[in-house]
Structure formats: structure tokens, C-alpha cells
Amino acid sequence: MDADDLNRLPCVFERALLMQSAACELSRRRSVGEGEAVVCGSPLARSACGTLYGLLREKSAFALGVRETGRILPHAAVMKLQCGGLDGLRDALMPECHAPDVHRLIRLAVERYGSLEALPFSEVVKGVAAFRLRRRRS
């Protein structure tokens, strides 16, 4: 896979990785203008992340205060979903870990529960509900 292929695979959990709330062994950072983007090095892993993100979004609707899960979420809700969702998954699977590795968490989840759909979302969503963005200093 060359660099052009990587650029076509934006990381599903990019915001959590850029905020250093999580890590991923398959991610690569790329400069984009004056900013930074995170891309995925594996189409298969990115698909699994997409599945997890969709499930988190569906199961966390109440915690996010949204009725329609298909709508575009505001930035704060996406941060809560990504960072809090990964925190909740980490707490359910490997509570001793500080910043979870997304790819490792997904592999462990599938090993332990057989599929991402079988995750204990009642526990995972607690991370979404508990997550708070840091306030900007004025």
C-alpha cells in the first residue's frame, strides 16, 4: 500500500487520536495544510473501526442526547462518542491500560465476545456518558 492509498483511508477515530485520548498501532499522521490528519494503514481494520463507531453511535444516542442517530453530530458529541466510547471499551476490556490502542481493543473485543455486536454496551456507554471535554482557558 503506497502513501496515496493511505490518504484515502481516514481514521475513523481520528479525533480521539489527535486529542491523544487513544492510540492505534495502524495509524499514521499526515500533514494537511497547516493541520494534521490521521490515516489508517489497513482497510480491514478500518472496516472494523467503522463497525464499532456505528454501534457506539447507535447505542449511545441517549447518552449523547440525540434522537436520530443518522444526523450529523456536533463536534462535542463526536468527541464524547469517540473518546468516551473508547474509554468505556477500555474499562470493559483492559481497565489497567491508560490510553487504549484502538486496534488492540477491537481484536480483544472480538476474541472475548465473538463479535463487536456482542459487546456489553451497557458498560461501554458509561464511558460516553462520563466523558467531558476539557474547558479552554480564557
* DSSP string computed for 77-117: HHHIIIIIHHHHHHHHH-TT-SS-BHHHHHHHHHHHHSSGG
Count of domains for the chain = 1
* 138: in domain: no
Q: Own/partner pairs for 31-38, CB < 8 Å, 24+ apart?
A: 37/10, 38/10, 38/11, 38/14
Model confidence pTM above 0.85: yes
* 136: in domain: no
* 54: in domain: yes
* 71: in domain: yes
* 135: in domain: no
* 39: in domain: yes
Range of the domain at 98: 3-130
* 137: in domain: no
Residues 54-99 pLDDT 10s: 999 999 998 888 877 677 889 999 999 999 999 999 999 998 888 7
Considering only CA atoms, give the Rg of the chain.
Answer: 15
